[in-house]
Structure 1
Amino acid sequence: MEKMEQKKQECAKAENVAPAGEEKGKRRKIPWSMLYIVATIVAVLLFGLFNREFGNVFRTIANLTPGFLTLGVVVSLVYFLFEGEIFRLLLHSQGYHISVLEGLKNALLGLYYSYITPSSTGGQPMQSAYLLRDKKIPVGISTAALIIKFMCFQCAFVLVSVASFVGMYTKLAAENPGIIPFIILGLGINGCSIVFFASLFHKPILHQICRFAKWLMGRFGFLRRRTGLLNSIDRFEADFSSYTDDFKGKQKSLIAAMLLSIPQFILQMSVIYFIFRAFGYHDVSYLEVLAVQSMLQVSVSFMPMPGASGAQEIGFSSFFRNYFVNDDLYAAVMVWRFFTYYLVVIAGAILVVADQFVYRRKKLREALASPVAENVEEYKEEGTQDES
């Protein structure tokens, strides 16, 4: 009897059914992953419905030079490869290894969540969540690597933007002086972000932030009841601090990541040049278009809207109004945003949905192959025998 009762409890868990005597309301588990998939699909559909430029962008692209557009796509793909490989390099320095495909997947997921959340705040947390789920990499470890990755990219971002600003200052002052204050403000904010995130690797500062998180938990009853969160914060602090503990062994990877971030940022800023050429323009040098794009990026990157939407389009019109002069500025904005923003959002959403389906199928196979699943069949057979 005791054995039968134990099997009964195991079977109830395997079939997601509460044991006899428990309330019916506890029998069903909310399918969060399926709800997440549905929400993603709805978000992308709404995204397309509320962006009227989708109606004209394909018609505009059809009339452009296909060779240059293809080069723009290739440059974007190489940029994604850099994104994944630099992160793999930093993760490797922490003692964790992921494949090239996993690095690319992580890169696209990070960009997708950054593009759909205010101030690009969703990318790194979701990357850490996926790495914990798929590779069992502690959140503190992955967060440290992602912040180092972000800092390296920001250093390249500010360095190239400062060089562009210095080189283009005379022309900007003569032709478009109104955008200079925005560039200076953007350089200041992005420079301060490097200092802020670097300070997190100073242990007393990290400890105070974690201590504040614990205090914040104590202010909310629903968080206080989750005692495991306190241990999670302590674990996060210890894992995150491991980067500082063995910093000397990670200096080479840090320097390599910073050096690789420079061509990565240049690749990202180069897409507009190929769009510029696809529209039939050829009287402006690659370096000038690259410089203008980097200054545009630095002047709007701190805007709180998802993907800096609105600010990017307005900024493009201000920065490139003297370059797209054949009454095609608006068309250029649409094509540029399509290749640098909308395609990433669409591809990221497809990846999220596909990944959730693959993950659910994997968990289902594991559940069916587990001893508990075998006990379900055994319990059913014994129950049949008892009835007879």
Structure 2
Amino acid sequence: MELNNTEYKNDGKDKKNNFGGSIIFLVLLITLTFYFLLKDQDISTLIKTVKKVNLIYIITGLIAVFTFINCEGMNIKILLNTLNKKTNYLRCLKYAFIGFFFSSITPSASGGQPMQVYYMKKDDINVSLSSLTLLIIVVIYQIIMICYGITAFLINPDFIESCSSSISILIIYSIGINIVLISFILGAIFSDKIVLKIALWVISLLNKIKILKNSEKVTAIIKQQIEEYKNGANHIKKNPKIIAKVVLVTIIQLTAMYSVPYFIYKAYGLNTYSAVDFICLQSILSIAVCSLPLPGAVGALEGGFMVLFKMFFSQEILMSAMLLSRGISYYAFLVISGIVSLGAHIISKKKETKAVKYPIKSYSSHIEKS
């Protein structure tokens, strides 16, 4: 028993260390990004330019990002309700904010889903249900994102041709990574035996060439993931209408986020280009950077904006437009979601303390609820 407590404490320490390391890395990355972006800029001119924008469109941009987070909350609620786990919308919105925050501070958004599962477990939502819910959301999100990119190319192939070689390489790389990931998930769902054989072969190869050390642990994780994907397949087959709802909400979600640069464009009183032009280009930029192992794609999105959106903004306002766009779509909601996550953590700790302090009362109330 003592050993288990020690392991639990060590695991808690590791999580805290990882969280602290992610924050330090993110702050360093943001500092370096803005140092290189702003070192040759006249800050007073930037401030004057920003002061001239129409605040109504800035507020509209903030609403668009809030819509993005709301849509994830809505999808979580839809799927949990389908799995016979009734929960209220505000709680699902909390999970969405937690996902946004931890995805924003960890490389490749790797920390979002695990923390959502963690806090759902705190609210008595079974891990298998929360994992399945988030799996379906992630798969649909990735598919819609790729479809957006393909549609953008079909609508205006000139956007791709106008990209620099480095951006083009990133687009091809990210589309490739996402297609492989989606193919693996769909294969695991509908042909799990074939995918398992391929995965085991890759693990064996990596183990032989000394790249992978703990092959048994990785094999166990892969098998668990494939089992979850099979459960996802069964759920999709039984509930096509629910999946259609999630697809529709996800389309609204991505459209809202991709429209933020357009609202910045309108805030400067510009009218030459349409919302479709901006949504298409932003979808291409998002695909280009989504596979990079950077928290919140910091650095890549800022630099990509400066390269791609120069066709929409004059050189005089390009930098301030980027700062406003990223300020709205990332930095403002990083702070907001961080506050929500902190609040969720404090409330959770208070509940745990109360349960420890009054175990009999807590147990009795649990019996009554049952």
- Three-state SS of the structure 2 residue aligned to 1:320 is helix
The one of 285, 304, 310 aligned to 2:293: 304
Write the mapping of 1:347-358 to structure 2, written as runs, cut at 5 A. 347-358=336-347
Q: 1:206 to 1:241 in 2, by over 3 A?
A: farther
The one of 193, 196, 202 aligned to 1:204: 193
- Three-state SS of the structure 2 residue aligned to 1:97 is coil
Question: 1:68·1:278 contact (CA, 8 Å) conserved in 2?
Answer: yes
Write the mapping of 1:24-39 to structure 2, written as runs, cut at 5 A. 32=12, 36=16
Give, in whole Å, the separation in 2 of the partners of 1:243 and 1:46.
33
Q: 1:134 to 1:181 in 2, by over 3 A?
A: same
Q: 1:44 to 1:339 in 2, by over 3 A?
A: farther
Give, in whole Å, the separation in 1 of the partners of 2:311 and 2:332.
27
TM-score by length of 2: 0.76
- Letter of the 2:153 counterpart: F
Question: Which is further off, 71-80 or 43-52?
Answer: 43-52
Aligned match of 2:349: 360
- Post-superposition CA distance 1:212-251 (Å, at most 9, x none): 9x999xx77xx8xxxxxx8x99988766643334543222
Give, in whole Å, the separation in 2 of the partners of 1:98 and 1:337.
33
Question: 1:96·1:137 contact (CA, 8 Å) conserved in 2?
Answer: no
Q: Does 1:161 align with 2:141?
A: no
Q: 1:233 to 1:102 in 2, by over 3 A?
A: farther
Q: Does 1:275 align with 2:260?
A: no
Question: Alpha-carbon deviation of 1:197?
Answer: 2.1
- Post-superposition CA distance 1:33-71 (Å, at most 9, x none): 9x9499669938983983568998887644421010011
Write the mapping of 1:86-125 to structure 2, written as runs, cut at 5 A. 86-125=75-114
The one of 336, 361, 370 aligned to 2:359: 370
Write the mapping of 1:141-152 to structure 2, written as runs, cut at 5 A. 141-152=129-140
Question: Which is further off, 84-93 or 267-276?
Answer: 84-93
- Letter of the 1:163 counterpart: T
- Three-state SS of the structure 2 residue aligned to 1:163 is helix
Aligned match of 1:47: 27
Question: 1:109·1:352 contact (CA, 8 Å) conserved in 2?
Answer: yes
Give, in whole Å, the separation in 1 of the partners of 2:342 and 2:246.
31
Give, in whole Å, the separation in 2 of the partners of 1:65 and 1:235.
51
Give, in whole Å, the separation in 2 of the partners of 1:107 and 1:268.
15
Gaps of 5+ in 1: 1-12, 19-25, 224-229, 374-388
Question: Alpha-carbon deviation of 1:270?
Answer: 0.4
Give, in whole Å, the separation in 2 of the partners of 1:42 and 1:119.
12
Q: 1:335 to 1:67 in 2, by over 3 A?
A: same
Question: Alpha-carbon deviation of 1:144?
Answer: 2.2
Question: 1:155·1:258 contact (CA, 8 Å) conserved in 2?
Answer: no
Give, in whole Å, the separation in 2 of the partners of 1:271 and 1:196.
32
Aligned match of 1:384: none
Question: 2:107·2:295 contact (CA, 8 Å) conserved in 1?
Answer: yes
Question: 1:40·1:349 contact (CA, 8 Å) conserved in 2?
Answer: no
Question: Alpha-carbon deviation of 1:75?
Answer: 1.3
Question: 1:269·1:290 contact (CA, 8 Å) conserved in 2?
Answer: yes
Q: CA RMSD in A?
A: 4.3
Give, in whole Å, the separation in 1 of the partners of 2:17 and 2:340.
11
TM-score by length of 1: 0.73
Question: 1:317·1:329 contact (CA, 8 Å) conserved in 2?
Answer: yes
How many matched pairs?
344
Question: Alpha-carbon deviation of 1:315?
Answer: 0.9
Question: Alpha-carbon deviation of 1:338?
Answer: 1.2
The one of 287, 303, 309 aligned to 1:314: 303
Aligned match of 2:210: none
Write the mapping of 1:1-388 to structure 2, written as runs, cut at 5 A. 32=12, 36=16, 43=23, 47=27, 50=31, 61-138=50-127, 140-170=128-158, 173=161, 175-176=162-163, 178=165, 179-201=167-189, 202-204=191-193, 241-371=230-360
Gaps of 5+ in 2: 208-212, 363-370
Q: 1:186 to 1:349 in 2, by over 3 A?
A: same
- Three-state SS of the structure 2 residue aligned to 1:356 is helix
Give, in whole Å, the separation in 2 of the partners of 1:31 and 1:354.
22
- Three-state SS of the structure 2 residue aligned to 1:135 is coil
Question: Which is further off, 39-48 or 351-360?
Answer: 39-48
Question: Alpha-carbon deviation of 1:141?
Answer: 2.7
Aligned match of 2:367: none
Give, in whole Å, the separation in 1 of the partners of 2:222 and 2:183.
23
Question: Alpha-carbon deviation of 1:182?
Answer: 4.0
Q: 1:38 to 1:289 in 2, by over 3 A?
A: closer
Give, in whole Å, the separation in 2 of the partners of 1:298 and 1:30.
37
- Letter of the 1:200 counterpart: A
Question: 2:159·2:281 contact (CA, 8 Å) conserved in 1?
Answer: no
